[in-house]
Structure 1
Amino acid sequence: MNGPMETDVCVVGGGPAGLALALGLVRHGVRTTVLERSITGHRELRGESLSPDSVRLLDRFGLLRTLRHDALTVRRLEVTDGGHRVLSVDFAGFPYPYRFPVELPQLRLLDELAAAAAGHDGFRLLRGWSAAGLWHDHAGRTAGVRVVGPEGKRTIRARLTAVAEGRFGRLREEAGLRATVRPLDRDVLWFRLPRPAEWTEPAYRVRIRRDRHALVLPDANGSTVRVGFSLPKRGLRALRAAGIGALHERLREIVPELAVCVGKLPRDWSETALLDIFTAEVPIWHAPGVVLLGDAAHTLSPVLGQGVNHALGDAAALAPLVAGALEETDAVAAVDRATAEFQRRRARAVADSHRLQWRQERVFTWASRPAAAARRTAYRALQASPRLRARVLEPAYFAAQRGERADPADQGHEAYAPYEEERA
């Protein structure tokens, strides 16, 4: 067994939360080691939708212009229910400096975060390494991680361990930070299809028919879309038993524009990926020497694409708190105060997203004619009332920009200009 490695902060997980936290820390001079068990960084079911608040954060990280060639600006949010468009939201109408979401391949985002962090002293990214468990000092405080990698078993000693290993990680439980898991009534089957020619404007499209719905998200390349097709919980087995043609038929029913690409529809189930939908709420995100962030602290549903956005928001909030704490005379106590303050600052935004998603999930499952009619009425009320629309959508897209209002006549922050120049 080789000797221990030393670092200030050990980040477990090289996803958006972990790498963004690492970038924030090394910019403050904090030695940071990131563990990522994947050698390539490839992950299934990656979130690629970034809210306007996340675009703002990328600009503040200094990465937005670098990523402009790989991103697609999304202009609208549309909801169609029972074949009738009941909501169409133009993001240009919101009075904020950063008003448009973007689609950005997550691998590209991770590569850029890692490259930016590597430009600072004290950064170390260990690909192909996984955490075997927490390491504790003689007083029982978490003081690092036991790891397994290409060089065998090692110990990484750290003043703080940041757990960003996603929704299925084991370290959360080992730290005694237990989650309340709430399964939703559905799962989502994801696949890609060509973008219909008539869809000339990048938009988030929600299609509903009775208690079935699909999310259609544009890919950054502009030529394909990602389709998230809702299924009853554990309903994939029955659908597969009916054959791939049953999926095609449901697609024709809900999103007929996509079903015309007969030769491009999934030919077998290997071209699809199932996402088990649940939320996980952790009452306390921190313990002595350890803190959770991203999905490890608060797993959200795919509605309105909040997972990546909260991951980046967590990282941006946590990094300066930890950096400041490590400079104090009693850094041990200061770090614990910093992680508690981190949760205090972030908890409300996460709770707001949970509430919004649960309301939307319930609405999606309304199946009876009266319930479906009520749902359409609710969406039309949003369409008719800018004030109500702002109340519902701003917590999901613009929570961090309140107080930074811009002139609605502007086209948005100048950081969007490179996107528009590329598409012109």
Structure 2
Amino acid sequence: MNLEADVCIAGGGPGGSFLGYLLAKKGISTIVLERHSGIDKEFRGEHLNQDGERVLKKYNLYNKVQEAGLLLMERVEYWQHGQVIKTVTPADGELHVGIHVPQRNLLSVLIQESKPYQNFNLLMGTKVTELLFNKNGCVTGLRALKGEQEVTIKSKIVVGADGRFSTVRKLAEIPFSIIKHGYDLLWAKIPSPRGWEPTIKNALINGKQLALFTQAGGFIQIGWNIEEDSYHALKKQSFAPFIDQVIEAFPELTEPIHQHIQSWNDFILLKVQSSQSPTWSKDGIVIMGDAAHTMSPTGAFGINCALLDADVLCGVIIEALNNHDVSAAQLGKLEQVRRADVEKLQLQQLIKEESYQDNFKVPAL
């Protein structure tokens, strides 16, 4: 199959899909590739902050996502010995301390809003395999596999929005450096008990963070920090004492935990790391979101950064196409606008992680 478009976006997550919608709306022929065959894949970073909310409202998408289903967090709590010792409530003028948006709800809105544009094409179940270059080394498209079928796409600009393990970044030979955070994360999901309020609850167990994130649809996401690279050894130990510590911290979860977390296999391991790249662009190609700057889970900045990247990159791409300039310098304008803010947030994440235990210190009388 041979296709052609002004822009080819590899990665149909929130950032890539949002960029695809923005470009299609501006009349730019756009192809979005997503390696998964559906939008219901497990996705842990589903919290919007005020930045993500603002950019969706800017394009009249927030109300549509709200109709699909989201949940406003009323407060953040820190628990110790069965009591709340610290509470964070919405800032003046704000209605929440975060918004849980199931990825399928956000993506379904972005896809449905893009479909009416004839210049928009979404290829699910399609994996990038090769970049195409001209004699001057400028990227001119890519090859991919849709099932067993090879797809060749000629485009003026390729966008890598394909996440922390970006194939596009690797094929473009864009270097990156990994920032270690000293911990990994175990995720699990359970139904919320009757009367559970939309909150983010934190506890400290053996010096490690345990966080409960209320989710839309009547669920709680459990996130438990463990020592980096310790999961293999941890799985050799008895499961019961480990999970009993969660129940001790939050006894009201005893029943759903016993019903839905019965072995180590009911957890999902996330290797925690962030990353930075010395450049986000080369001639004909630009990376964004986690492909350009992986974020750690702290503060739930990842999805919001990807949406902000897409908003800026749309304008950069329009300028590039209008001026017939797809050089690294032109596409690098995304980086000029966004790098400082992203790296500031990455530093904030490290500081928050290092100071997490301070939230449980009782002030001296």
Supply the AA of the counterpart residue of 1:124. N
Contact kept in structure 2, 1:28 and 1:320, CA below 8 Å: no
Q: Secondary structure at the match of 2:326?
A: helix
Query: Aligned pair count?
Result: 363
Distance (whole Å) between structure 1 residues aligned to residue 110 and residue 363 of structure 2: 40
What residue number does 1:37 align with? 35
Distance (whole Å) between structure 2 residues aligned to residue 12 and residue 283 of structure 1: 20
Q: Secondary structure at the match of 1:347?
A: helix
Supply the AA of the counterpart residue of 1:132. T
State the identity as a percent. Answer: 27
Q: How far is 1:270 from its partner?
A: 2.9
Q: How far is 1:109 from its partner?
A: 0.8
What stretches of structure 1 move > 6 A for 4+ residues in a row?
none
Contact kept in structure 2, 1:164 and 1:293, CA below 8 Å: yes
- 1:96-136 CA distance string (max 9 Å, x none): 6x755211110111111111111223100011111002110
Distance (whole Å) between structure 2 residues aligned to residue 131 and residue 255 of structure 1: 44
- TM-score normalised by structure 1 residue count: 0.80
Distance (whole Å) between structure 2 residues aligned to residue 170 and residue 194 of structure 1: 35
- 1:325-372 CA distance string (max 9 Å, x none): 2112x3334xx44421111111122112101110122234xxxxxxx5
Supply the AA of the counterpart residue of 1:30. I
What residue number does 1:63 align with? 61
- 1:150-188 CA distance string (max 9 Å, x none): 462232111110001111122212212111112221111
Supply the AA of the counterpart residue of 1:357. Q
What residue number does 1:122 align with? 119
Between stretches 285-294 and 209-218, larger displacement belongs to 209-218
Q: How does 1:13-28 map to 2 (within 5 A)?
A: 13-28=11-26
2:212 matched to 1:226?
A: no
Cα distance, 1:17–1:302 mapped onto 2, change above 3 Å: same
Please provide the CA RMSD for this pair. Answer: 2.2
Q: How does 1:128-147 map to 2 (within 5 A)?
A: 128-147=125-144
Q: Secondary structure at the match of 1:251?
A: helix
Q: How far is 1:295 from its partner?
A: 0.6
Contact kept in structure 1, 2:73 and 2:96, CA below 8 Å: no
Contact kept in structure 2, 1:214 and 1:254, CA below 8 Å: no
Q: Where do 5+ consecutive residues of structure 1 fail to align?
A: 365-371, 382-424
Distance (whole Å) between structure 1 residues aligned to residue 138 and residue 161 of structure 2: 19
Distance (whole Å) between structure 2 residues aligned to residue 236 and residue 257 of structure 1: 27
Between stretches 278-287 and 262-271, larger displacement belongs to 262-271
Q: How does 1:7-406 map to 2 (within 5 A)?
A: 7-69=5-67, 70-81=69-80, 85-91=84-90, 93-95=91-93, 100-150=97-147, 152-197=149-194, 199-200=196-197, 202-221=198-217, 223-259=218-254, 261=256, 263-328=258-323, 330-333=324-327, 336-364=328-356, 376-377=360-361
Q: Which structure has greater strand proportion?
A: 2
Cα distance, 1:234–1:297 mapped onto 2, change above 3 Å: same
What residue number does 1:414 align with? none
Between stretches 4-13 and 55-64, larger displacement belongs to 55-64
Q: How far is 1:375 from its partner?
A: 5.2
Distance (whole Å) between structure 2 residues aligned to residue 179 and residue 219 of structure 1: 33
Distance (whole Å) between structure 2 residues aligned to residue 59 and residue 380 of structure 1: 40
Cα distance, 1:151–1:193 mapped onto 2, change above 3 Å: closer
Supply the AA of the counterpart residue of 2:64. T
Contact kept in structure 2, 1:83 and 1:209, CA below 8 Å: no
Q: Where do 5+ consecutive residues of structure 2 fail to align?
A: none
Distance (whole Å) between structure 2 residues aligned to residue 214 and residue 99 of structure 1: 21
What residue number does 1:412 align with? none
Between stretches 131-140 and 82-91, larger displacement belongs to 82-91
